[in-house]
């Protein structure tokens, strides 16, 4: 193209000549026209950067808590100094036709090494000066640490002095010896004076540093303390998962996104919250996968979407219900897709029979329906219901659900329900094999000719009003009489619920998709969500069509944006229904992909057994965090509503008049959920009293003694007077966690009531709010319950600022540990790049020091004691078949004592040798061999493993652990975790499968056979990430190199889900579920905080403030609170707390970008700078999660005090249905089921404040 013109030159001829002359004296090679300078060889100028790059070694490690990444990193070290980090790229390949996991990591992880030498590093142990002074004085005077601690904490003045100083500076250096002595004394004192269940520990997310988590938890459990949960507490637990699947959560690894051919991201902002995995989502588009996002804002992931469904915050279930409406109508009723109907017949509860009952009398009377024939859905029909009257019915029959054989019209009790799981009669029959029976999905026209079908009207609850009040829909179902009971199927109820009409059914039905008034049509949802009806219909069709074409490869990535609402479980069930109906669950490339913080600890058996010290004593004390903090921080005293306000109009009164605190007390009393402290008395004393009663012959067993004492009132439940000083939690140890700067919903109540220091609580208790009837009300709320707050960290956080003792922790680059995740199938190691600098020590060392000191002090103060431990009816144990029919029967209401393990908790006596805690901490105890380790009701026999570990690790000599395998270093504990887990020890995986085969009666062991010899060692994980072995510890399979997807074993091998029917549940018939109107998938609007708490109504109010939804999504610049104080992250963002606002909301209060604003409500205040952006919808602000009060937070105008953290504006709201227990999948396990610490329903008033701020 240049041929037609003369050779172009630079500048003009004159200057060219001049330059040539100028360069006469210099020597360099240049292009002919003098444009370019080239040089090669001997490049002295290059030396600077070459030096900069040089380093001495590269060490494999990762980042240890609160992030699902589990990314393996290279840590570079030069001259003994950590310089920087880059990602490892040596993950095992996932196959030739797929992208790989390399590299994994994000900017936050890449900024980690900044902490090592940063000015916020905790270098030495610190104790609050006022406390230390008093302690030293008392210690010298009294000569005994425990006596000194007793004096300080029981003298009201001294107590006040150090408690009110919390969070306000004045930390002074102490030695490790002194700091540990104070901590040990506090623990010994608490155990002795109040009981071990007044000792608490909190450390979340074990998967990300199993050893660190394990050692501290083990310490707490050995002394009988309480570990509070995190998964439910964080509201990351989708309660819908236990409800629907009977499983905590199990999800595909991100590599399985690659298998999806239709991918929705619903409330999950993958590039921000799953940064190292997001590439799979970007890449799978190139395979022709359509990507759809649902989010209220133009989120980061929307950039990748083909379509964006901008559903308004909190209304997602309305959209999902309408999509379900389209799907049921077009793919089930108008045209039956065999792929879908075959699937739901085998794997879901849709064909199971449900009894139809008359509605509650009170409702019928009030509604004028008394004379009507309308019915309501009741309980599942069970084999017990079919028995002839007078016949002896085995207990398990009440747990066997029933369906109709389509060919014969006869009722059939298929294999696989809960009645087959534990009973001897169920051996070999706990499976999903229908044995040739084709279940009838509907009572109408499906099944034997000649059966009498009755078309009956049913009443269904609905919650369509924005204020959340309920109403009743009248729709119809076909029904038949079976064994004298009028029944219909779950499928028929589903069509009625979704408003999909069929000919001849009574009731009122939508007129079509465009019927705006009838729930749950596309047009109806458009009014609520703002998503156009056409788009809803189109996406629903595409979703189902894709599944039909691809055999279930439609996937929905679900996230915190929809999970963390008060009614998040309802939303999730509405979305999961789309996946179950289209046969997507248990498929590679299909089903749910819930990614909200669960972080799978793949070597689970080793970790959980050692963490809970099950090798030395059982059971452990584990506690649902949400109810623990709700009660102990006295947020219950500030609750504005009773459980009634959540009820369905059709409720039968189980929750009538109950305050939320009452429901928690009742749940604990009935053995549903745990509560600690257990009793108004020290459990060490209770154990003694029980033994005395047994010895005296007045009680058959310690448990019977407790049941009797609770009945006659000589023993009380602690929760019934939770504010009495003897029932306060007294010590709290925090490691790998930042409770006060991150997860503490209702943060300001923590400060006021738990810690007794300054706070920003804005409201006062509402004298008109309902008060509990079962929990004693003290006119004055206690302030300062906790005697000791101890934290270990490597950086200063809101928690360390508040702590009485701060211990300098080693960073993730300074110790040995293990990491795994649900996002990838590998286990890999932490390796110290340097020794902990200054006086830092690893958590492992810390707890060993603490245990040693405690054991020493125990010789004088505790000795060997018996402890009476109360635990609820547990999921995956026979305890989950304690309360048939899901009937909420309160023993107290019967006038009789409860039955331990049936109508009330299990009470068990555990011996605790407090002088041997450190010896037990360092060795694997004898119960490992004698009882084995049980996970999900599969027992792993580990005698061989114990022997091998003794050989590998050596044994300890002398003391309680004499001759037992040593786990006295972090490396040895890592080895033990790997050795005791099926995922990392093929022999155990195979043995576990063989054990399971006996119950299931189907072939399973082949999934791990061939891996018997595979034993992943800690050294293996240090050299490269290692892929895990398929094991019954989880529900999916990696066998043959496939990507992990959950429930593939259930689907492919007919192994039941751990639910009542053994199938995935659409219908939940527990009394409390029905009373809340949530027996079926449903839409519930966000809580109306105006109605419930008297907060202002949403929108501008004409003054310079605007009330908005206050959402706390995760930040691009931090992992929870970590990194939000990191200078690199701050330099790449706005450098401090921010509030993302829409231009409309900002404009209504004259706020410009970067103006200071305050967000406030009755709970507290947050001060931050506004980011005004058009990507935000009106009426919503984003205050990104875990923005702490440590960085650039000025004083608030509203209170004159330091502004709060993001959770200063939130509070705890407990949903009663999350407290259900003792009933199949609705049974407690730690982090499996429990009330969520949800926070998304909050509203806040945003004000522009003076722009000159003070600190």
Partner 1 sequence: MRVMAQMGMVMNLDKCIGCHTCSVTCKQAWTNRAGTEYVWFNNVETRPGQGYPRRYEDQETWKGGWTLTRRGSLKLKAGGRVQKLLGIFASPVQPQLADYYEPWTYDYQTLIEAPLGDDFPVARPKSLITGENTKITWSANWDDNLGGASEMGHLDPIVAKLNASVRRESEEKVRFELEKTFMFYLPRICEHCLNPSCMASCPSGAIYKREEDGIVLVDQDRCRGWRQCITGCPYKKIYFNHKSGKAEKCTFCYPRVEVGLPTVCSETCVGRLRYLGLFLYDADRVTAAAATPQEGDLYEAQLDLLLDPEDPEVVAAARRDGIPDDWMDAARRSPVYALAKTYRVALPLHPEYRTMPMVWYVPPLSPIVDVLSSQGHDAEDRTVLFGAIDALRIPVDYLAELFTAGRSDIITGVLQKLAAMRAYMRDVSLGRDGDPAIPEAVGMSEESLYEMYRLMAIAKYADRY
**Residues of this chain, 475-504, that bind partner 1 according to CB under 8 A:** none
**Comparison of 749 and 1018: residue with beta carbon closer to partner 1:** 749
- Of 33-41, 612-620, 727-735, 1229-1237, the window that binds partner 1 (rule: CB under 8 A) is 33-41
Q: Give CA separation, 829 vs 113, 611, 1018, in Å.
A: 17, 18, 7
Residues 550-569 that bind partner 1 (CB under 8 A): 550
Can you tell me which of 78, 81, 86, 367 binds partner 1, judged by CB under 8 A? 86
Residues in the chain: 1255
Can you tell me which of 20, 859, 1097, 1175 binds partner 1, judged by CB under 8 A? 1175
The residues near 549 (Cβ < 8 Å, ≥ 6 apart) are 261
By CB under 8 A, tell whether 154 contacts partner 1.
no
**Comparison of 90 and 515: residue with beta carbon closer to partner 1:** 90
By CB under 8 A, tell whether 1149 contacts partner 1.
no
Can you tell me which of 20, 52, 481, 859 binds partner 1, judged by CB under 8 A? 52
Nearest-approach distance from CB 1187 to partner 1, in angstroms: 12
Nearest-approach distance from CB 791 to partner 1, in angstroms: 13
Nearest residue to 485 (alpha-carbon basis) of 375, 588, 569: 375
By CB under 8 A, tell whether 308 contacts partner 1.
yes
**Comparison of 129 and 653: residue with beta carbon closer to partner 1:** 129
Nearest-approach distance from CB 785 to partner 1, in angstroms: 20
Can you tell me which of 1140, 1223, 1230, 1232 binds partner 1, judged by CB under 8 A? 1140
- How many angstroms separate the CA atoms of 794 and 125, rounded? 11
Q: Which two tokens mark 582?
A: 């289209």
Backbone angles phi, psi at 1180, to 5 degrees: -135, 135
- How many angstroms separate the CA atoms of 370 and 1219, rounded? 32
Asked if residues 1049 and 1007 have their Cβ atoms less than 8 Å apart, the reply is: yes
**Comparison of 637 and 1043: residue with beta carbon closer to partner 1:** 1043
The residues near 1158 (Cβ < 8 Å, ≥ 6 apart) are 1165, 1166, 1167, 1196, 1197, 1198, 1203, 1246, 1247, 1249
Residues 719-758 that bind partner 1 (CB under 8 A): 758
Nearest-approach distance from CB 17 to partner 1, in angstroms: 10
CA dihedral 183, 186, 192, 196 (to 10 degrees): -70
Asked if residues 1163 and 763 have their Cβ atoms less than 8 Å apart, the reply is: yes
Q: How many residues lie near partner 1 (CB under 8 A)?
A: 147
Nearest-approach distance from CB 549 to partner 1, in angstroms: 6
Can you tell me which of 14, 21, 696, 1250 binds partner 1, judged by CB under 8 A? 14
Q: Cα Rg for the chain, rounded, in angstroms?
A: 31
**Comparison of 532 and 959: residue with beta carbon closer to partner 1:** 532
Q: Are strands 403-404 and 591-594 parallel, antiparallel or unpaired?
A: unpaired
Q: Are strands 171-173 and 126-128 parallel, antiparallel or unpaired?
A: antiparallel
Q: Per-residue x/- marks for partner 1, 1198-1227, CB under 8 A?
A: ---xx-------------------------
Asked if residues 1124 and 1188 have their Cβ atoms less than 8 Å apart, the reply is: yes
By CB under 8 A, tell whether 22 contacts partner 1.
yes
Nearest residue to 248 (alpha-carbon basis) of 1239, 1034, 1081, 1213: 1034
Can you tell me which of 1192, 1216, 1226, 1248 binds partner 1, judged by CB under 8 A? 1192
**Comparison of 16 and 724: residue with beta carbon closer to partner 1:** 16
Q: Per-residue x/- marks for partner 1, 97-136, CB under 8 A?
A: xxxx-xxxxxx--xx-xx---xxx-x---x-xxx------
By CB under 8 A, tell whether 1125 contacts partner 1.
yes
- How many angstroms separate the CA atoms of 851 and 815, rounded? 20
Asked if residues 1180 and 1109 have their Cβ atoms less than 8 Å apart, the reply is: yes
By CB under 8 A, tell whether 821 contacts partner 1.
no
Residues 251-280 that bind partner 1 (CB under 8 A): 261, 271, 275-276, 278-279
- How many angstroms separate the CA atoms of 1040 and 593, rounded? 22
Nearest-approach distance from CB 103 to partner 1, in angstroms: 6
Can you tell me which of 20, 57, 168, 1097 binds partner 1, judged by CB under 8 A? 168
Q: Per-residue x/- marks for partner 1, 277-296, CB under 8 A?
A: -xx--xxxxxxxxx--x---
**Comparison of 40 and 452: residue with beta carbon closer to partner 1:** 40
- Of 47-55, 213-221, 463-471, 1017-1025, the window that binds partner 1 (rule: CB under 8 A) is 47-55
Helices 843-861 and 210-222 meet at what angle, rounded to 10? 10
| DSSP summary character for residue 330 | I
Nearest-approach distance from CB 484 to partner 1, in angstroms: 50
Nearest-approach distance from CB 100 to partner 1, in angstroms: 6
By CB under 8 A, tell whether 24 contacts partner 1.
no
Can you tell me which of 50, 156, 713, 1250 binds partner 1, judged by CB under 8 A? 50
By CB under 8 A, tell whether 159 contacts partner 1.
no
Residues 367-396 that bind partner 1 (CB under 8 A): none
Q: Give CA separation, 41 vs 25, 26, 35, 46, 47, in Å.
A: 20, 17, 21, 10, 12
Nearest residue to 840 (alpha-carbon basis) of 735, 945, 937: 735
- How many angstroms separate the CA atoms of 668 and 954, rounded? 43
**Comparison of 9 and 362: residue with beta carbon closer to partner 1:** 9
**Comparison of 271 and 961: residue with beta carbon closer to partner 1:** 271
**Comparison of 535 and 899: residue with beta carbon closer to partner 1:** 535
Residues paired with 439 in a beta bridge: 405
By CB under 8 A, tell whether 25 contacts partner 1.
no
By CB under 8 A, tell whether 310 contacts partner 1.
yes
Backbone angles phi, psi at 198, to 5 degrees: -100, 0
Cα 302 vs. chain centroid, distance in angstroms?
A: 25
By CB under 8 A, tell whether 1190 contacts partner 1.
yes
By CB under 8 A, tell whether 1128 contacts partner 1.
yes
Can you tell me which of 154, 425, 517, 549 binds partner 1, judged by CB under 8 A? 549
Nearest-approach distance from CB 618 to partner 1, in angstroms: 42
By CB under 8 A, tell whether 1172 contacts partner 1.
yes
What is the spatial order of strands in the sheet that 307-309 belongs to? 307-309, 290-294, 262-266, 554-558, 591-594
- How many angstroms separate the CA atoms of 1217 and 1236, rounded? 10
Nearest-approach distance from CB 915 to partner 1, in angstroms: 36
Cα 189 vs. chain centroid, distance in angstroms?
A: 33
- How many angstroms separate the CA atoms of 833 and 840, rounded? 14
- How many angstroms separate the CA atoms of 1234 and 1134, rounded? 37
**Comparison of 558 and 806: residue with beta carbon closer to partner 1:** 806
The HSE-up count of residue 214 (CA atoms within 13 Å, CB side) is: 36
Bond from prior residue into 520 cis (ω within 30 degrees of 0)? yes
By CB under 8 A, tell whether 669 contacts partner 1.
no
Nearest-approach distance from CB 829 to partner 1, in angstroms: 20
For the stretch 65-84, what's the b/e string if a residue is b when 16 or more beta carbons lie within 10 angstroms of its beta carbon?
Answer: bbbbbbbbbbbbbeeeebbe
- How many angstroms separate the CA atoms of 294 and 530, rounded? 11
- Of 10-18, 195-203, 573-581, 811-819, the window that binds partner 1 (rule: CB under 8 A) is 10-18
Residues 514-543 that bind partner 1 (CB under 8 A): 531-532, 534-535, 538, 542
By CB under 8 A, tell whether 1250 contacts partner 1.
no
Backbone angles phi, psi at 99, to 5 degrees: -65, 160
Nearest-approach distance from CB 1240 to partner 1, in angstroms: 20
Can you tell me which of 1189, 1215, 1218, 1247 binds partner 1, judged by CB under 8 A? 1189
Backbone angles phi, psi at 706, to 5 degrees: -65, -45
């Amino acid at each position: 193209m240049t041929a037609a013109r003369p050779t172009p030159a630079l500048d003009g001829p004159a200057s060219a000549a001049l330059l040539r002359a100028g360069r006469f004296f210099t020597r360099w090679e240049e292009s002919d026209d003098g444009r370019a300078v080239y040089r090669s060889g001997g490049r002295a100028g290059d030396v600077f950067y070459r030096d900069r790059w040089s380093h001495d070694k590269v060490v494999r490690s990762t980042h240890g808590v609160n992030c699902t990444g589990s990314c393996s990193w290279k840590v570079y070290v030069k001259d003994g100094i950590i310089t920087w980090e880059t990602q490892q790229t040596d993950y095992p390949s996932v196959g030739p036709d797929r992208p790989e996991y390399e590299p994994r990591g994000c900017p936050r992880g890449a900024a980690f090494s900044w902490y090592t030498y940063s000015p916020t590093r905790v270098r030495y142990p610190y104790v609050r000066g006022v406390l230390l002074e008093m302690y030293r004085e008392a210690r010298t005077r009294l000569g005994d640490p425990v006596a000194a601690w007793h004096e300080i904490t029981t003298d009201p003045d001294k107590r006040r002095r150090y408690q009110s100083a919390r969070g306000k500076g004045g930390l002074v250096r102490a030695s490790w010896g002194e700091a540990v002595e104070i901590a040990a004394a506090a623990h010994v004192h608490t155990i002795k004076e109040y009981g071990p269940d007044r000792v608490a520990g909190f450390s979340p997310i074990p998967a990300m540093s199993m050893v660190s988590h394990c050692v501290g938890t083990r310490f707490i459990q050995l002394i009988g303390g309480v570990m509070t949960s995190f998964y439910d507490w964080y509201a990351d637990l989708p309660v819908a998962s236990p409800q629907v699947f009977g499983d905590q959560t199990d999800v595909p690894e991100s590599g399985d996104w690659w298998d999806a051919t239709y991918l929705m991201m619903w409330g999950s902002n993958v590039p921000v919250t799953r940064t190292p995995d997001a590439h799979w989502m970007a890449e799978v588009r190139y395979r022709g996968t359509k990507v759809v996002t649902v989010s209220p804002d133009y989120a980061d992931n929307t950039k990748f979407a083909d379509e964006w469904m901008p559903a308004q915050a909190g209304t997602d279930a309305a959209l999902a219900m309408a999509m379900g409406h389209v799907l049921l109508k077009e793919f089930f009723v108008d045209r039956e897709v065999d792929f879908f109907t075959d699937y739901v017949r085998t794997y879901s509860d849709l064909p199971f029979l449900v009894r139809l009952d008359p509605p509650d009398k009170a409702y019928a009377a009030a509604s004028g329906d008394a004379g009507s024939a309308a019915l309501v859905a009741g309980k599942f029909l069970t084999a017990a219901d079919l028995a002839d009257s007078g016949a002896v019915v085995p207990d398990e029959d009440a747990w066997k659900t029933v369906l109709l054989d389509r060919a014969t019209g006869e009722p059939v009790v298929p294999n696989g329900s809960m009645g087959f799981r534990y009973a001897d009669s169920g051996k070999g029959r706990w499976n999903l094999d229908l044995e040739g029976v084709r279940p009838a999905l509907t009572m109408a026209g499906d099944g034997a000719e000649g059966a009498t079908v009755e078309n009956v009207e049913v009443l269904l609850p609905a919650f369509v009003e924005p204020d959340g009040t309920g109403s009743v829909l009248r729709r119809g179902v076909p029904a038949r009489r079976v064994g004298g009971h009028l029944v219909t199927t779950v499928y028929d109820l589903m069509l009625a619920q979704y408003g999909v009409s069929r000919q001849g059914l009574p009731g009122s039905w939508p007129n079509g998709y465009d019927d705006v008034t009838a729930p749950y049509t596309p047009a109806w949802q458009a009014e609520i969500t703002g998503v156009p009806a056409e788009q809803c219909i189109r996406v629903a069709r595409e979703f189902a069509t894709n599944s039909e074409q691809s055999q279930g490869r439609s996937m929905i990535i679900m996230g915190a944006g929809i999970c963390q609402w008060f009614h998040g479980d309802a939303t999730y069930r509405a979305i999961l229904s789309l996946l179950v109906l289209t046969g997507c669950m248990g498929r590679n490339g299909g089903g749910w992909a819930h990614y909200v913080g669960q972080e799978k600890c793949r070597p689970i058996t080793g970790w959980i057994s050692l963490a809970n010290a099950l090798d030395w004593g059982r059971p452990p004390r584990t506690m649902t965090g949400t109810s623990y903090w709700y009660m102990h921080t006295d947020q219950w005293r500030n609750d504005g509503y009773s459980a009634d306000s959540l009820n369905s109009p059709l409720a039968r009164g189980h929750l009538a008049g109950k305050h939320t605190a009452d429901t928690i007390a009742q749940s604990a009393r009935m053995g549903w959920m745990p509560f600690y402290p257990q009793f108004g008395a020290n459990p060490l004393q209770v154990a003694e009293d029980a033994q005395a009663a047994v010895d005296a012959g007045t009680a058959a067993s310690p448990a019977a003694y407790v049941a009797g004492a609770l009945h006659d009132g000589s023993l009380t439940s602690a929760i019934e007077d939770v504010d009495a000083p003897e029932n306060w939690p007294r010590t709290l140890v925090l490691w790998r966690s930042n409770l006060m700067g991150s997860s503490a919903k209702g943060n300001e109540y923590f400060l006021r009531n738990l810690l007794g220091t300054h706070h920003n609580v804005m409201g006062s208790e509402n004298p008109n709010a309902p008060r509990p009837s079962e929990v004693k009300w003290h006119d004055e709320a206690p302030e300062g319950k906790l005697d000791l707050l101890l934290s270990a960290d490597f950086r200063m956080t809101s928690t360390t600022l508040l702590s009485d003792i701060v211990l300098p922790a080693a960073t993730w680059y300074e110790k040995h540990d293990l990491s795994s995740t649900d996002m990838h199938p590998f286990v890999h190691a932490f390796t110290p790049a340097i020794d902990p600098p200054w006086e830092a020590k690893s958590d492992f060392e810390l707890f060993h020091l603490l245990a040693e000191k405690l054991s020493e002090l125990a010789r004088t103060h505790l000795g060997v004691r018996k402890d009476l431990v109360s635990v609820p009816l547990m999921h995956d144990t026979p305890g989950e078949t304690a309360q048939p029919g899901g009937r909420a029967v309160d023993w107290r209401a019967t006038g009789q004592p409860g039955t331990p393990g049936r109508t009330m908790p299990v009470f068990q006596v555990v011996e605790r040798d407090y002088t041997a805690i450190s010896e037990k901490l360092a060795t694997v105890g004898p119960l490992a061999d004698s009882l084995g380790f049980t996970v999900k009701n599969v027992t792993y026999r580990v005698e061989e493993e114990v022997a091998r570990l003794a050989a590998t690790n050596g044994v300890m000599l002398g003391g309680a652990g004499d001759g037992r395998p040593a786990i006295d270093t972090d490396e040895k504990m890592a080895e033990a975790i790997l050795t005791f887990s099926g995922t990392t020890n093929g022999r155990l995986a195979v043995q576990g499968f063989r054990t399971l085969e006996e119950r299931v009666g189907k072939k399973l062991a082949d999934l791990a056979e061939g891996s018997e010899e595979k034993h992943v060692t800690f050294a293996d994980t240090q050299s490269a990430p290692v892929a895990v072995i398929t094991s019954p510890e989880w529900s999916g399979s990696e066998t043959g190199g496939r990507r992990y997807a959950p429930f593939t074993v259930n689907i492919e091998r007919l192994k039941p889900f751990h639910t009542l029917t053994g199938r995935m549940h659409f219908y939940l018939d527990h009394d409390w579920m029905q009373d809340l109107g949530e027996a079926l998938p449903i839409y519930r609007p966000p809580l109306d905080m105006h109605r419930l708490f008297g907060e202002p109504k949403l929108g501008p109010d004409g003054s310079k403030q605007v009330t908005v939804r206050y959402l706390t999504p995760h930040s691009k610049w931090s992992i929870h609170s970590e990194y939000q104080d990191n200078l690199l992250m701050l330099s790449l963002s706005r450098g401090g707390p921010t509030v993302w606002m829409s231009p409309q909301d900002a404009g209504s209060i004259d706020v410009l970008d970067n103006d200071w604003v305050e967000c406030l409500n009755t709970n507290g205040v947050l001060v931050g700078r506004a980011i005004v952006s058009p990507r935000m919808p009106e009426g919503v602000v984003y205050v990104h999660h875990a923005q702490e009060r440590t960085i650039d937070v000025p004083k608030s105008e509203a209170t004159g005090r330091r502004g709060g953290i993001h959770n200063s504006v939130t509070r705890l709201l407990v949903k009663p249905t999350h407290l259900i227990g003792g009933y199949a999948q609705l049974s407690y396990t730690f982090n499996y089921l429990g009330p969520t610490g949800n926070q998304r329903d909050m509203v806040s008033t945003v004000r522009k404040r003076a722009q000159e701020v003070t600190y």
